[in-house]
Structure 1
Amino acid sequence: MAQKHNVIVAALLAAIAMVMPALAQENTPNDPRLFTPGKLTVSTSEPSYPPWVLDNNPESGEGFEAALVYALAEQLGFKREDVVWVDVTFDGAIAPGPKNYDFSIQQISVTPERAKVATFSDVYYQSDKAVIALPDSAVASAKSFADLKQARWGVAVGTTDFDYVTNVLGIDNAAVYDDQAGVFQALQGGQIDATIAALPTALYATAVQVPEAKITALLPKDPKDEGLALLFASGNPIVPWINEGLAAIRDNGTIDELVQKYLVADPNIPVISE
């Protein structure tokens, strides 16, 4: 009996000895739970657009989300060269199933539907909404939600922009397009008067995609839009560690500095709140 007991104890000790080194490395850059231990593997879209990523080059660390990733990586103990970027479409990022990266960052809004098949980090940014319209549109002089409801609206299907136009502005006849590019084409072609987007997206759109349009008003944050977060495969165990890093760079002012650098609009743009 004593011999059997000793064998069991030895086996347990051996198992503990095997597990302890891995446990000791959790929440460090060598965490065995990372997609590639020693690396922080991050997905974003190809192409990536300003002001989230500048010059379609996340490795530069320029642009709000690219810079945020490198600030987070440094906080977690990674060297700059240990951040690895992979290209994944938005649809691929939010699809259920395993991921070939640690998390995705590409302006992914937290929604209950997505949270059923993926795990989100804490929110890193929540944006105002911006009205995008041509300067000669009646929308350009709108002062209230009632004025906005007189316009012909267009939005991309399945987006928080669609939800906002429908549920907050109370517009139930908006034209629906497959993607934002289709919305902008309709705006340029005079098929719609206005669309809506998160402020940073609107800044880029009016600078590059539809430079003839402008941001005509800012609207309140969507109470049902929880904001943007990093997206992980469902149940990924590194999420609490990543959240600790996000909390640290939020508390030390880094995220606010990046917002001021990349995501601030013209202070003269009017605000419509009701």
Structure 2
Amino acid sequence: MLGTAPSAGRIALAAAFALGLMTSAASAQDKTPDDPRLFAPGQLTVATSDPVFPPWMMDNDPANGEGFESALVYAIAEKMGFAPENVVWVRETFDQAIAPGAKNYDFGIQQISVTEDRSAIATFSDVYYQPQKAVVAMPGSVVGDATSFADLREVRWGVMIGTTDLDYVAQIIGVTDAAVYNDQVGLFQALQGNQIDAVATELPTALYLTAVQVPEAEIAAILTPDENDYGHGLIFEQGNDLVEWVNEAIAELQADGTIDGLVAQFLIADPDLPVITE
């Protein structure tokens, strides 16, 4: 016997029921390693630079859990429910990290400062660290006698392209002719070769630079904070709502003292360094 065709109302009701089941299943997976919003469900895919530098990461190996940012990523992953072996690293340049467009990972980490301009083309997590900036120079440099921004405008500066260090030297100190380098190696070689007098960089990087990479160099001063640099954040593809889940993990790590512990372990500074404020 032929049956009657289902009514439009019954079809709509069945479709709504099926959609509800699918939504419920997806919701049950949210904020788990099987979250469908992940770039590759089952793993946390994280981007960083190549190479990576201490004290942020050690031995050019982000997967070893050593260094401030490597250890932080694994602490975040644990809060999110990922085993260490399910954290997968990819590499990209700094310019690629801060460029707009699709990203082949969940979030990136490589001392990326949160700024208004960058926030217009990418999504950032809450700030996980607010570094000070430092001036690095060779012993006997004229930089050692500087006590003001006016003095600092008289020296030859070198900065790395695409960084807030470049913005700081140009916009805050007021230097319009700083030499720009594509990577840290070229920047530090220029300092050693007396092609430039001073380098602006974040204090933790300056500490490692003067201890290991260019041990004959010294930190000449600490600089006043840049109000346009809100601190380091994890970078996501614009509109990626995984950021809420990651922010929950960062908040937990701040509350339980984990981040403070990592700062103390990897990013300790000399409190007696001179400070130039303007």
Cα deviation, residue 238, structure 1: 0.8
Which amino acid in structure 2 is aligned with residue 66 of structure 1? S
Query: 1:154, 1:177 within 8 Å by CA — same for their partners in 2?
Result: yes
The equivalences for 1:114-193 within 5 A come to 114-193=118-197
**Measured at CA, do residues 272 and 59 of structure 1 come closer, stay the same or move farther in structure 2, by a change above 3 Å?**
same
Q: Bigger shift: 154-163 or 74-83?
A: 154-163
* Secondary structure of residue in 2 paired with 1:215: strand
Which amino acid in structure 2 is aligned with residue 54 of structure 1? M
Distance 1:34 1:13 in 2: 26
Unaligned runs of 5+ in 1: none
* Secondary structure of residue in 1 paired with 2:270: coil
Partner of 1:71: 75
Distance 2:162 2:74 in 1: 30
Cα deviation, residue 2, structure 1: 7.9
Distance 1:186 1:46 in 2: 21
| Cα deviation digits, residues 96-155 of structure 1 (max 9, x gap) | 222221001011112333223221111111110111000111212333333323322222
Partner of 1:113: 117
| Cα deviation digits, residues 192-236 of structure 1 (max 9, x gap) | 211110111212222333222111111122111111111111111
TM-score if structure 1 supplies the norm length?
0.93
Does residue 219 (structure 1) correspond to residue 226 (structure 2)? The answer is: no
Identical pairs, percent: 59
* Secondary structure of residue in 1 paired with 2:26: helix
Which amino acid in structure 1 is aligned with residue 152 of structure 2? L
Over the residues paired in the alignment, what is the CA RMSD in angstroms?
1.8
Query: 1:105, 1:230 within 8 Å by CA — same for their partners in 2?
Result: yes
Distance 2:192 2:58 in 1: 25
Does residue 31 (structure 1) correspond to residue 35 (structure 2)? The answer is: yes
Query: 2:94, 2:162 within 8 Å by CA — same for their partners in 1?
Result: no
* Secondary structure of residue in 2 paired with 1:196: strand
Distance 1:7 1:224 in 2: 55
Q: Bigger shift: 167-176 or 70-79?
A: 167-176
Partner of 2:253: 249
TM-score if structure 2 supplies the norm length?
0.92
Which amino acid in structure 1 is aligned with residue 134 of structure 2? A
| Cα deviation digits, residues 160-216 of structure 1 (max 9, x gap) | 112111222223332333333332222111122111101112122223332221111
Distance 1:179 1:51 in 2: 17
Distance 2:265 2:83 in 1: 23
Distance 1:23 1:187 in 2: 54
Query: 1:168, 1:222 within 8 Å by CA — same for their partners in 2?
Result: yes
Distance 2:78 2:232 in 1: 21
Distance 1:151 1:4 in 2: 78
Partner of 1:234: 238
Distance 1:64 1:16 in 2: 43
* Secondary structure of residue in 2 paired with 1:54: coil
Query: 1:109, 1:227 within 8 Å by CA — same for their partners in 2?
Result: yes
Q: Bigger shift: 144-153 or 222-231?
A: 144-153
Which amino acid in structure 2 is aligned with residue 262 of structure 1? F
Q: How many residues of Structure 1 are paired with residues of Structure 2 in the alignment?
A: 274
Does residue 8 (structure 1) correspond to residue 8 (structure 2)? The answer is: no
Distance 2:86 2:186 in 1: 37
Query: 2:116, 2:228 within 8 Å by CA — same for their partners in 1?
Result: no
